[in-house]
Amino acid sequence: MRGIDTPVRQRRRRVFKEVANLAYHSTNLKDDMEALPYKIADYEESIYWESVYRDRAVIRERLRLAMGMSLRPEDRDRPGHLTEGMEDSNIDEKYYEPPLMQVIPSACNACPENKYEVSNLCMGCLAHPCSAVCPVGAITMVNGKSVIDQDKCKKCGKCMKVCPYNAIVHRKRPCQVACGVGAIKSDSRGRAIIDNDICVSCGQCMVSCPFGAIADKSQIFQLIRAMQSGRKIIAQVAPAFVGQFGPNVTPDMFKTALKELGFADVYETAIGADLGCKAEAEHYVHEVASGNQPFSLTSCCPSWSVMAKHFFPETLDKISNELTPMVATARIIKEEHPDASVVFIGPCASKKLEASRRTVRSDVDFVITFEELTGMFEAKGILLDEIKAMDQMMDATGAGRGYGVAGGVASAIEDYIKANYPDVEVKIEHAETLAECRKVLALAKAGKKNGCLIEGMACPGGCVAGAGTNIAIPQAMKEVAGFKAAAKEKLPK
Query: Averaged over 108-119, what is the pLDDT?
Result: 95
Q: What would the pLDDT profile of 372-423 be if each residue is shown by its tens digit?
A: 999 999 999 999 999 999 999 988 999 999 999 999 999 999 999 999 999 9
User: In this structure, are strands 427-432 and 265-268 parallel, antiparallel, or unpaired?
Assistant: unpaired
- Tell me, what's the pLDDT at 78? 56
Range of the domain at 277: 230-485
Distance of alpha carbon 56 from alpha carbon 60, whole angstroms: 6
Q: Is 436 in the same domain as 319?
A: yes
Query: Averaged over 22-50, what is the pLDDT?
Result: 94
Q: Is 299 in the same domain as 197?
A: no
- Tell me, what's the pLDDT at 293? 96
How far apart, in Å, are the Cα atoms of 258 and each of 232, 373, 393? 13, 10, 12
| pTM for this model (two decimals) | 0.93
Q: What residue type is 154 in one-letter code?
A: K
Distance of alpha carbon 158 from alpha carbon 155, whole angstroms: 8
- Tell me, what's the pLDDT at 94? 81
Instruction: List, in sequence order, every residue forming a beta bridge with 116; answer none if it has no partner.
Output: 170
DSSP state of 319: B
- Tell me, what's the pLDDT at 51? 94
Q: What would the pLDDT profile of 309-354 be if each residue is shown by its tens digit?
A: 999 999 989 999 899 999 999 999 999 999 999 999 999 999 998 9
Q: What would the pLDDT profile of 410-456 be if each residue is shown by its tens digit?
A: 999 999 999 999 999 999 999 999 999 999 999 999 999 999 999 99
Tallying the residues shown for the chain, one arrives at: 493
Is the pLDDT at 11 greater than 80? The verdict is: yes
Answer yes or no: is 254 within a domain.
yes
Query: Averaged over 270-294, what is the pLDDT?
Result: 96
Report the Cα–Cα distance between both ends of the chain, in Å, rounded.
Answer: 39
Note whether 432 and 408 are within 8 A (CB): no
Answer yes or no: is 348 within a domain.
yes
- Tell me, what's the pLDDT at 174? 96
Q: Is 81 in the same domain as 147?
A: no
How many domains are there within the chain?
Answer: 3
Answer yes or no: is 136 within a domain.
yes
Answer yes or no: is 350 within a domain.
yes
Answer yes or no: is 493 within a domain.
no
Look up the CATH number of the domain holding residue 204: 3.30.70.20
Answer yes or no: is 283 within a domain.
yes
Instruction: List, in sequence order, every residue forming a beta bridge with 366; answer none if it has no partner.
Output: 343
Q: Is 216 in the same domain as 249?
A: no
Q: Is 192 in the same domain as 242?
A: no
Instruction: List, in sequence order, every residue forming a beta bridge with 102; answer none if it has no partner.
Output: 215
Q: Is 75 in the same domain as 211?
A: yes
Q: Is 137 in the same domain as 243?
A: no
Query: Averaged over 295-299, what is the pLDDT?
Result: 94
377 three-class SS: helix
Is the pLDDT at 77 greater than 70? The verdict is: no
Q: What would the pLDDT profile of 157-203 be if each residue is shown by its tens digit?
A: 999 999 999 999 999 999 999 999 999 999 999 999 999 999 999 99
Note whether 195 and 205 are within 8 A (CB): no
Q: What would the pLDDT profile of 237-248 be if each residue is shown by its tens digit?
A: 999 999 999 999
Q: Is 341 in the same domain as 447?
A: yes
Q: Is 207 in the same domain as 351?
A: no
- Tell me, what's the pLDDT at 110? 95
Q: Is 398 in the same domain as 265?
A: yes
Q: Is 283 in the same domain as 137?
A: no
- Would you call the peptide bond into 99 cis, given omega within 30 degrees of 0 as the criterion? yes
Answer yes or no: is 131 within a domain.
yes
Q: Is 368 in the same domain as 307?
A: yes
Is the pLDDT at 88 greater than 90? The verdict is: no
Is the pLDDT at 359 greater than 80? The verdict is: no
Answer yes or no: is 490 within a domain.
no
- Tell me, what's the pLDDT at 81? 84
How much is the mean pLDDT over the chain? Answer: 94
Distance of alpha carbon 86 from alpha carbon 366, whole angstroms: 19
